[in-house]
């Protein structure tokens, strides 16, 4: 038996992009597509608030130390 892993975030982002394009906003669709690529590459994590995606950049501990950032910031 095999199982397919479904990424709800990816699905929802692609729907948002398609809806933007359908509603006549190609720039918003393009921006979402670029953010989706970053999400697929592991550059962003996505949280949802009131049905809208919030993109957070993922950085390593070394990068955080380099920029003197604390984990809770």
| Residue 36: inside a domain | yes
Band (70; pLDDT cuts 50, 70, 90): low
| Residue 72: inside a domain | no
What domain range is 20 assigned to?
Answer: 8-66
**Is residue 17 classed exposed, middle or buried when 0-12, 13-18 and 19+ CB atoms within 10 A define those classes?**
buried
| Residue 73: inside a domain | no
Q: Are 39 and 57 in contact (CB under 8 A)?
A: no
Contacts of 23 (CB under 8 A, 6+ apart): none
Q: How many domains does the chain have?
A: 1
Q: What is the pLDDT of residues 15-44, one digit of tens each?
A: 999 999 999 999 999 999 999 999 998 888
| Residue 31: inside a domain | yes
């Amino acid at each position: 038996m095999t199982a397919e892993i479904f990424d709800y975030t990816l699905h929802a982002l692609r729907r948002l992009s398609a809806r933007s394009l359908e509603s006549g906003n190609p720039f918003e669709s393009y921006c979402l597509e670029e953010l989706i690529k970053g999400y697929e590459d592991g550059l962003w994590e996505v949280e949802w608030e009131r049905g809208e995606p919030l993109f957070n950049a993922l950085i390593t501990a070394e990068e955080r130390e380099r920029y003197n950032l604390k984990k809770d910031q």
